[in-house]
Amino acid sequence: MNGYSLKGGFVYLEETGAYSRKDLYIDSGEFSADTPYGAQEIDISGKFVYPGFVDSHAHLIGTGRKSLEVDLEGCSSIESLADRLSVDRRIVRARGWDQEVLGFMPVRGKLDLITSEPTIITRRCGHIACVNSSLIKLFDLERLNGLDGSDIDLGILKERALEEMDRIAKLSPAEVREAIEAGTRSFLKYGVTSVHSDDYHGIDYELLVEALSSANKMRVYEKLCISRKEDLEMIKHGRQFETDFFRLRAAKMYLDGSLGARTAAMIEPYHDSPTETGVLYMTADDLRPIVRRADREGIQVCVHVIGDRSLEEALLAFEGSNSETLKHRLIHVQIASEDQIRRIADQRLTASIQPVFVDSDSTIAPERFGPIRIKDAYPFGKMRDMGVVVAFSTDSPVESTSVVKNLVSADRFFSRKDSIVMYSKTGHTLANSVRSFALNPGDPADFFVTGSDLLKTREDTFADMTFVSGRLVHKQNEISLEP
């Protein structure tokens, strides 16, 4: 078999936001103007064809791990929690609970009543977890008491204590590769062919780079999570392992936590907890030396900022940086004043946003921010209107990898035409990619076919087929149809 000939599809044109009914030809991993000799013909009459989508911020390995761990999404009682945790494993790992849905915090005492097996259950946001006494004893976690507000008596781990837990219980090589495969399937089934991923958590650096550089079913723009300027050397070292499917050109830093865990760093206290202002990982003085060295080394800097305090520190640190060339990036930006947005635009900073957060946070955001600050929350439309380049993302496994869920949430801010661009072309732009990924001759054949019109649909939909570099990598829940 030498390429493909796809017949009769409605091909989406990003330039116009319209469809053109035409045939597509794929030869040697690229779109071709002519039918390649011996091509396999596929009838896609009545189907819609789109450029492969780009998730501009997610966790590929974390997404895979979640699908392999116990799923606590939707747990609404101690009985349902106990039922899901009744599994036979050496260490029970679970993720997805939300105290607002569960009705209580699943602290150490409650977990001890449910199971005596070493157990860690992580909140859906990934910034707080609860553990039972067996796990605390197994890993001697008493030493983490007090770190970023962690309370071992209650079995609560927050932020850097949770990161330390990941380092203690590292994934094996087999677990890493299994997670990459599972995570890849989760993205490909929705037509996402590229992901900006943050995976350096509880994994040896050499193992991470080797595993990602040997994978070839989707494109991974890796952001290495670091905390010191000296760690930038790992990114320089990793460039020698780059392939057509793996790039390591960016550093990622956490400046704060999450809204759900009340660890996002706020200038003023939380409306529903007046004694708390969140957790600030780094100040501008801490971040600035990393940014300056990254500028010299040609490395993009991406920072996790959810609260307005962490955003302020980031803006101070990025002043005078080479953002116009390197496209330094803010990830999340869940609250920002108009003055802060203006400074984001003036500094030519880019942003990875998650429109779906608006809906998933709808039950907690008004309580956390209060009636005044909520007006500055989720300023995604205003950011784009003021000239900030924004790209869509899911932060999976915090949210589903679903494309349509994100598009529907974004309808309150953007037209579907603009949203599709921010979910595809802009994602490659933020990776400083010089290649075009439109559906034109000579472009890499990264695309997907679906029965749904994404300009209109509000129903969750899967890709019928997903292609990466001209290879059919997903079809009706199948994977690896070609070697």
Q: Where are the domains of the chain?
A: 4-52+441-479, 62-168, 171-430
Residues recorded for the chain: 483
> How much is the average pLDDT of 278-305?
98
With a CB cutoff of 8 Å and minimum separation 6, the contacts of 294 are: 229, 232, 251, 300, 301, 326
Is the pLDDT assigned to residue 482 strictly greater than 50?
no
| Highest mean pLDDT: which range of 51-55, 90-94, 157-161, 167-171 | 51-55
pLDDT on residue 267:
99
CATH T-level fold of 4-52+441-479 = Urease, subunit C; domain 1 (2.30.40)
**Cα–Cα distance between 466 and 53 in angstroms, integer?**
10
With a CB cutoff of 8 Å and minimum separation 6, the contacts of 347 are: 315, 318, 319, 321, 323
3-state secondary structure string across 374-414: HHHECCHHHHHHCCCCEEECCCCCCCCCCHHHHHHHHCCCC
What is the number of helices (H) and of strands (E) in the chain? 19, 22
pLDDT on residue 318:
99
What class is the 62-168 domain? alpha beta
Beta-carbon count within 10 A of 310 CB? 31
For 17-48, write each residue's pLDDT tens digit: 999 999 999 999 999 999 999 999 999 999 99
**Cα–Cα distance between 78 and 146 in angstroms, integer?**
27
> What is the DSSP-derived secondary structure letter of residue 171?
P
**Cα–Cα distance between 27 and 45 in angstroms, integer?**
21
pLDDT on residue 479:
39
| 329-332 sheet: strands from edge to edge | 53-58, 192-197, 219-225, 246-254, 300-305, 329-332, 350-353, 390-392
What value does the mean pLDDT of the chain take? Answer: 95
Please give the distance of CA 47 from its chain centroid, rounded to a whole number: 28
pLDDT on residue 1:
57
CB 366 within 8 A of CB 358: no
CB 185 within 8 A of CB 217: no
Q: Which residues pair with 221 in a beta bridge?
A: 196, 247
pTM attached to this predicted model: 0.93
pLDDT on residue 480:
38
Of 10-14, 123-127, 357-361, the range with the lowest mean pLDDT is 123-127
Is the pLDDT assigned to residue 387 strictly greater than 70?
yes
CB 92 within 8 A of CB 118: yes
pLDDT on residue 169:
83
Q: In CATH terms, are 4-52+441-479 and 171-430 the same topology? A: no
With a CB cutoff of 8 Å and minimum separation 6, the contacts of 192 are: 52, 53, 54, 55, 218, 401, 403
Question: In terms of CATH architecture, what is 171-430?
Answer: Alpha-Beta Barrel (3.20)
Please give the distance of CA 480 from its chain centroid, rounded to a whole number: 23
> What is the DSSP-derived secondary structure letter of residue 295?
H
Q: Which residues pair with 187 in a beta bridge?
A: none
Beta-carbon count within 10 A of 125 CB? 21
> How much is the average pLDDT of 442-453?
97
Q: In this prediction, what percent of the chain has a pLDDT beyond 70? A: 98
Is the pLDDT assigned to residue 483 strictly greater than 60?
no
Please give the distance of CA 185 from its chain centroid, rounded to a whole number: 15
Between 262 and 88, the higher pLDDT residue: 262
**H helix runs in 201-337, sequence order:** 205-214, 232-238, 284-297, 308-318, 323-326
> How much is the average pLDDT of 114-124?
95
